[in-house]
A = this chain, B = another copy of it.
Amino acid sequence: MAEFFNVLPPDEARRLFLQHIRPLGDTETLPALAALGRITHDAIVAPHSLPTFRRSTMDGYAVRATDTHGAGESLPALLQVIGEVPMGRAASYVLNTGQAVVIHTGGMLPDTADAVVQIEHTQIVGGLNPAQFPYEIEVGRSVACGQNVIQIGEDVAANTEILPAGSRLRPQDVGGLLALGIGQVVLVRQPRVAIISTGDEVVPPDTPLGPGQIHDINSYTIAGQVFQAGGEAEIMGIVPDDLPALGAAAAQALAKADMLVISAGSSVSVRDRTIEVIEALGQPGVLLHGVATRPGKPTILGVVDGKPVLGLPGNPVSAMVQFVMFGVPAIYRLQGVSRADIKERLWARLEQNIASASGREDYIPARLVDAGQGMLAVPIFGKSNLIYTLVQADGLIKVPLNVGGLIAGDLVEVLLL
């Protein structure tokens, strides 16, 4: 049964909701190449050092650094070049005092070399590049031991944790795995999120509208949000607004899914019905109905057997905003995501005053403008149920819980849409 039947501040509501959600244990192993955007199940550890050999960062000559000490423009060091390290091969040369080998960027240093002199700081004695080794060069600058060299393990040392469990893989992460020869990754299975729309006025998007009817759009906006958060959306369609039909559809959907979203009408009677439906699904059921936010106060948060069940207000703006606040974190929790996506929000300067009631978190759609030094958030005012305020918006300005409003010039948090 519900632990609270009152309106909670959003942070508390989220904490309560996430606490009851059980992360998916299931894994799926995929080639690293196919794992972009997916979440790692386990921490990943470097099986060996990277690089595996000492590499040059420059085109030039591999040398013994001591042979260049004291060298300068006016008194160059004279070295004998005995060969060239081929790319992608072992560097088999043994350098004696005063010897050097030609090396290219990324080439392997011979064991007996410890630094690289850039080609720009050398000159071939007698001018042109001779046809055969050995030949002599003048080195016009001294190099320190290790200079222009990447050491073994300098990129990553063997047995280092390279990615924590719950990491969302980006292009560079996939690159890092492949660099170490890690071709297969154990990932969290993608959560399946079932979406039910209800409301006697709601018809499918491809049905012409009769009087008093509107198109179902929440199923599709929420499906898009599910996809972006890493889940798989299953659109269950529009269910008639009566208790047995909705109850049966919800039970059937939840049996096969990891999470259920019911986008209901916003009227009080429909909301009460959604609460009843969620309560009938199982334990603990409804955790709270009512969050101190605008838009979206009548949101219903429930958990059944560890699976999140979200009852969203029917108006599309409230539904999207509340899904940002509770749906996305729930999908993250199911996947064990260790850190929210850095691209989800930013800070910007507010362009004009915003009034707000204390004791409530407001989310105001806004367009972002690059002001040269920082971003400017330009609020888009309008009734909270107009989808086109979100089409025009880049994000939502957060007006914190206990402020009476925000002043032009304030630094504000913007959740990106």
Contacts and interface: CB of A to CB of B under 8 A. Distances in A.
Given A53-B212, A106-B267, A416-B342, A224 B36 contact: yes
A170 interface: yes
Given A175-B387, A315-B106, A181 B209 contact: yes
Interface of A: 32-33, 36, 50-53, 57, 59, 85-91, 104-108, 119, 150, 154-156, 162-163, 170-176, 178-181, 183, 199-203, 205-206, 208-218, 220-225, 227-228, 241, 265-270, 314-316, 320, 342-343, 346-347, 368, 373-375, 383, 385-388, 390-391, 393-395, 411, 416-417
Nearest to A374: B347
Contact of A150 (B33, B267, B314, B386): B386
A202 B88 contact: yes
27 contacts: A33-B220, A36-B227, A50-B387, A50-B388, A87-B267, A88-B200, A88-B213, A104-B267, A106-B201, A106-B214, A155-B388, A170-B224, A171-B221, A171-B225, A171-B228, A172-B221, A172-B387, A174-B220, A176-B390, A178-B215, A179-B217, A179-B387, A181-B215, A183-B206, A342-B368, A343-B343, A343-B416
A393 to B, nearest CB: 8
A215 B181 CA distance: 7
Contact of A395 (B224, B241, B265, B342): B342
Contacts of A390: 172, 175-176
Given A200-B87, A206-B183, A391-B176, A417 B170 contact: yes
Q: List the number of copies, as a whole number.
A: 2
A162 B391 contact: yes
Contacts of A391: 162-163, 172-173, 175-176
A57 B197 CA distance: 19
B347 A375 contact: yes
Contact of A51 (B156, B214, B221): B214
A66 to B, nearest CB: 23
Contacts of A155: 386-388
A269 B129 CA distance: 14
